[in-house]
Structures are given as C-alpha cells and as structure tokens.
Amino acid sequence: MTNLTIANSVIKIFFEVGIDGETMEYIIDKLGMRDQMIKQLVTNKQELEQSEEIMVRFTRKQLINFTREIQERCKQAMIEAVNNAGIDGDEYIELELDWNNTIQTNFNTDALLKEIGNVMDDVIVDDDDSVLDEACNVLDHLAEK
C-alpha cells in the first residue's frame, strides 16, 4: 500500500466511527506530532515565531500539583519574609529570673513562626478541587489581561 492508499483507508475508518476532534488530538499526541501539526496549521510562520504565547498542557493532576507547588513556595517565602523582618511581640517574649535575681528575656522565634505557619495553613485550602478551582481562577485572570 502507498502512503496515499493508507491515508485514505484511515480517513474512511475515521468517518465510519465518527471520530471527534478530541480523539484526533489524542491520536496526534500519541504519534508525537503535536508540535509539527501546530507549525503546519499556522499559516503565518513569522506570527508563530514572534508569538509571546507559551502553550502548556497539563493533565488535571499535573495542574493540581503545579498549583500546589506554587502555594507551598509562596508559603515558604512568606515565612522567610516574616522571619527576616525581625518582628517582636510581647506574647513571644519569655522572662526568666536567674539565680542572681536578674531577669533574662528570650524571644521565642520558633513559636511565632509556627503560629504564622498555622494561620497560613488555615487559609490555604489544598484539597484537589480547591486547588484546581484556584488554578482555573488564575488562568482565567491571566486570560483577561
């Protein structure tokens, strides 16, 4: 069989089974031809090269994990920022009376950081549905810009 004969046979089968666009995209992905098809379907190749769009495809789970990682990095950055800010507060100061009747003060940085972490944990919801909703909200927001 020639390539044209094979192509016509495959096309006939696709019409018979009523293949849809999503299935066709899946087949193209499985054949490793996605990038090639994008390049061939764009009529203005200069437009493709100058485009600022970055196309990324995530599975549902990859998107959840990506967003969860962003949340965790934000949380760590916030903790580090607070830690480096030199915050002091009366409720985190410990007073100790020494044996020679002098008072020593100690700032409990660990307790403060733990409290900040607990507060953030209460605010950041990380179940799969919530993370996916947040990711979609971020993507929608970016699409509006």
Q: What is the pLDDT of residue 143?
A: 67
Q: What is the pLDDT of residue 46?
A: 58
Question: Using alpha carbons only, how large is the chain's radius of gyration in Å?
Answer: 28
Q: What is the pLDDT of residue 1?
A: 59
Q: What is the pLDDT of residue 97?
A: 84
User: Could you give the CA distance from residue 130 to residue 133 in angstroms, rounded to a whole number?
Assistant: 5
Tokens of 63: 């998107």
Tell me if 126 sits within 8 A of 111, measured CB to CB. Answer: no
pLDDT, block means (10 residues), the chain with 145 residues: 78 83 82 76 58 69 82 79 66 82 82 77 78 78 66
Q: What is the pLDDT of residue 13?
A: 84
Task: Output the pTM of the full model.
Answer: 0.41
Angle at 96 between CA 93 and CA 99, to 5 degrees: 165
Tell me if 68 sits within 8 A of 58, measured CB to CB. Answer: no
Q: What is the pLDDT of residue 52?
A: 59
User: Could you give the CA distance from residue 102 to residue 96 in angstroms, rounded to a whole number?
Assistant: 8
Helix (H) or strand (E) holding 142: helix 128-144
Q: Which residues fall within 8 angstroms of residue 24, CB to CB, at 6 or more apart?
A: 14
Taking CA atoms, 111 is separated from 27, 36, 107, 114, in Å, by 55, 55, 9, 5
